[in-house]
Structure 1
């Protein structure tokens, strides 16, 4: 039984990962364009890559939480009813954090 519901959970979440990555990436690009910073060193590129990996790990927590609810609580918490809420709020929050961090990092007024 758990395998069937795990597949259903993955089938719901995984197609949305691409859109999550696109929206978060665009928020970072928009922030960089607004600051006017167009020079990147290798450290910046590595940081952007690590930021994307962390974003995808955090995206996967939605999948993990739903699987744990299914396995340990037999879906009594009915977290699947909140999928869209988790997806939209999580995406928006990560976009805000990405935008804010990029503006702060590339701001000409910040001294790093």
Structure 2
């Protein structure tokens, strides 16, 4: 299972830690409870519905955060990403998932323009 070290920033609040790469998830970040604290007192951009394999149709509040990949002591910005917070707290898990939306954003960061090779360690 591929894992990346992800850091998120919302205003002055920050969170970082491991995240599981899940290519079945179209969105950006599916947070754990710790990440949802970043959005305390913040209005969501929109509310959307997704099919959740465990719970069926599920509503999510969508927020944005500045995202970074951590490699060693270095942080590499991948820009603003969408974070999909389930409205029902019991749909949160202990893990953080990153989906294809983030993969597409950091592919551009990691793709060597001259050789067109991906240089990502998972």
The structure carrying a bigger strand percent of its residues is 2
Name the TM-score, length of structure 2 as normaliser: 0.27
Name the TM-score, length of structure 1 as normaliser: 0.28
The structure carrying a bigger helix percent of its residues is 1
